[in-house]
Amino acid sequence: MAVRVGMGFDVHAFSDEPGRRLMLGGVELHGERGLAGHSDADVVAHAVGDALLGAAGLGDLGEHFPDADPAWEGADSLALLRRVVELASAAGWRPVNVDCTVVAEQPRLAPHRAAMQERLTAAVGAQVSVKATTAEQLGALGRGEGVACWAVALVES
């Protein structure tokens, strides 16, 4: 058996588009300002997907789901994540676990963490843990201009 580790990162600014939904970890955070992006801009699902693709040696999300392709406009990031798992599986890799850290001044993620973990775990087929922190008011994230996420994935063959 072989094991590999991959790292993923994603960041999106908050959108000025009225009515844009905020999706994080496959969960809609009602009443919150959405993130700008070609798909639903779910930074958590994107970071998890990139970590899995990296661990499997399959490139990155932009390679598989380019933002220049209208087919992915408004795409459900959990559906993209499920497709990433299929790609990794076809290459002989199975997710073991994923750990991610979300960086955001707002909104507070603690009330949504369990639901995010549940949705991501179901999409990946392995345990996904979600942690949250702030940027302590430093830089663009600290000024509340957007949300970022780092993820680390372990896969085995």
Question: Does 3.30.1330.50 match the CATH number of domain 3-156?
Answer: yes
Question: Can you give the pLDDT at residue 106?
Answer: 93
Evaluate if residue 6 carries a pLDDT over 90: yes
Q: Domain segments of the chain: what residues?
A: 3-156
The mean pLDDT of 17-36, rounded to a whole number, is 96
Instruction: Report the half-sphere exposure of 48 (CA within 13 A, side-chain side).
Output: 40
List of residues 6+ apart from 83 with CB closer than 8 A = 64, 65
**pLDDT 10s digits, 43-75:** 999 999 999 999 999 999 999 998 888 888 888
What pTM, to 2 d.p., does this model score? 0.96
